[in-house]
Every structure is written in structure tokens, then in C-alpha cells.
Amino acid sequence: MNTDIRGHALREDDLRSGKVLTTEWRGKIDYAWDSGAAIGQFLAALKDGKLLGRKCHGCQRIVIPPRMFCEKCFRRSDEWVELKDTGRINTFSVSFVNWDASRRSTPQVPAVIEIDGASPGMGILHLLGEVGDTLQAVLDRVKVGTPVKAVWKPAEQREGQITDILYFRPM
């Protein structure tokens, strides 16, 4: 291996004076994301204040988020099923750190919610609300298995996004 590579470092003046050719451009980074048939229908139902899953007649599972293909039976799922907007906490975390790593004074509680009417283990990740402003208050109120209910945005504010559900609150 030849480690005797000759060269010299560039100076900022080399760039400014044109001694070294440079180019500047802004890339077009617009993009579109296709949600697909299953998630598209799921998001449309959220706008109407409904949760949809898909049922597989092969294994009888009802999955949420919906999928058009059953990964257990290796076959196309068969029908849409409207599910309740209630469920139980499967797991949760108490966070005092925001998405941008800044500190929070009150806890945020993301949780996996197993949705009522779906097969065991099927659910969605969402936030819990109305659970308290301190760690101890949250831990007194939130447990694995706690029943919860969706709190929805007002109908006129819904956009067909998962955030149409503001949070799930303990029942």
C-alpha cells in the first residue's frame, strides 16, 4: 500500500480567489410520500374519528396499523374492520427530554396502546395525556394494562394524520 500521497492543504483564499473551481447550487429536495392502500385508508378514517384495522381470514388476526398482506399467513388480508378507540397500555416510557434533546419540565409519556378489537399485541405508538405533571403522578396513574381512550381533535381540525388523536387518556 502506498502511503506516500503528495498534496497540499487548501486555504480559504484559494477558494475565494478562484484558484480552485467551486460550484454552489441548491438541490430540489421536494418529495412526495405515498402512504399506500392500507395506511392511506387508515389515515382517511382518522379524519372521520375512526380507527381501522385489517382482518385476515386465514389466521383470523386483526392488525393495526393495517396491512394489506398478512405476514403470518403470507396471504392478502381480507377485510377492513372498524375498531374501538380504546385499548390498554402494553408498554410506556416517561421522558423529560424532547425530540430535539432539550429538557422538559413536565413528563411526556409515549406508550404502545393495544387497541380493543384488534388481535393481542396489535397496537399503535402514541402519547398518553392527563397523566400528571410529575414523575410520581405519572407512575401512580400509568401501569402496563391500564385501560385508555383516545382524545380526538375537534372534527373540523382533523387532517387525516395520526395527530388527529391528541393523546390517549387513562379511563
Percent of the chain whose pLDDT exceeds 90: 76
pLDDT band at 64 (very low <50, low <70, confident <90, very high): very high
Cell numbers at residue 34, please?
A: 405515498
Angstrom distance (rounded) from CA 170 to CA 150: 9
- Report which of residues 61 and 29 the model is more confident about: 61
- Report which of residues 97 and 29 the model is more confident about: 97
Arithmetic mean of pLDDT, 42-69: 95
State residue 3's pLDDT score: 65
State residue 46's pLDDT score: 97
State residue 2's pLDDT score: 63
- Reduced to 3 states (helix: H, G, I; strand: E, B; else coil), residue 40 is helix
Which segment of 6-10, 24-28, 102-106 scores lowest on mean pLDDT? 6-10
Which residue ranges make up each domain of the chain? 36-170
| pTM given for the model | 0.77
pLDDT at 104 exceeding the cut of 80: yes
Longest CA pairwise span in the chain (Å):
71
Give the distance from CA 112 to its chain's centroid: 10
**Average pLDDT across the chain, whole number:** 92
- Report which of residues 33 and 93 the model is more confident about: 93
